[in-house]
A = this chain, B = another copy of it.
Amino acid sequence: MDNKRELFQVLTRRFGLLNKNCCSVGAIDISSVQSHILYEIDKQTSPSMQQIADTIAMDITTFSRQIQTLIKMELVKKTPSSTDKRVFILSLTVQGKFVATTIDESMNAYLEEVFSHMNEFEKETVIRSIKLLNQAMSKSSVCCTPLL
């Protein structure tokens, strides 16, 4: 019966803030979009450009340019595929891996801090709920067509 929109509006806003702050590692400053890109490259195995762009639901042209930036920053590497000459395989450089890991750690630290305001039972409930929510959203027909 609650106003769901209200709840989600606030939640979204906070997430936005979180994502904005969280993304400087030492002298390196990256945007939240770029952080998502690093995250996915790290997670997937030998992904092509298309694959990552699709996962993040990002226009391929914008994505192409973001990758160019990340390459200039020496965080990402582009290797031509051996089987298909149109395709480039993305991977993280050592520095890129370091940045991705650092961001991951600081995000997790932040989340731990947030969860520290709850008791054990609440923690588990919230985690389980978010899983449920993710599942429900993936089943939904309305939004989020660009998969994942």
Residues of A within 8 A of B (CB): 2-5, 7-19, 21-22, 36, 39, 56-57, 104, 107-115, 117-118, 122, 125-137, 139-144, 146, 148
Contact = CB atoms under 8 A, between A and B. Distances in A.
Interface of A, helix, strand, loop or mixed by DSSP = helix
Number of copies: 2
A108 B5 contact: yes
A131 B7 contact: yes
Given A13-B36, A17-B146, A108-B5, A114 B126 contact: no
A140 to B, nearest CB: 5
A148 B122 CA distance: 22
Given A4-B111, A19-B12, A126 B117 contact: no
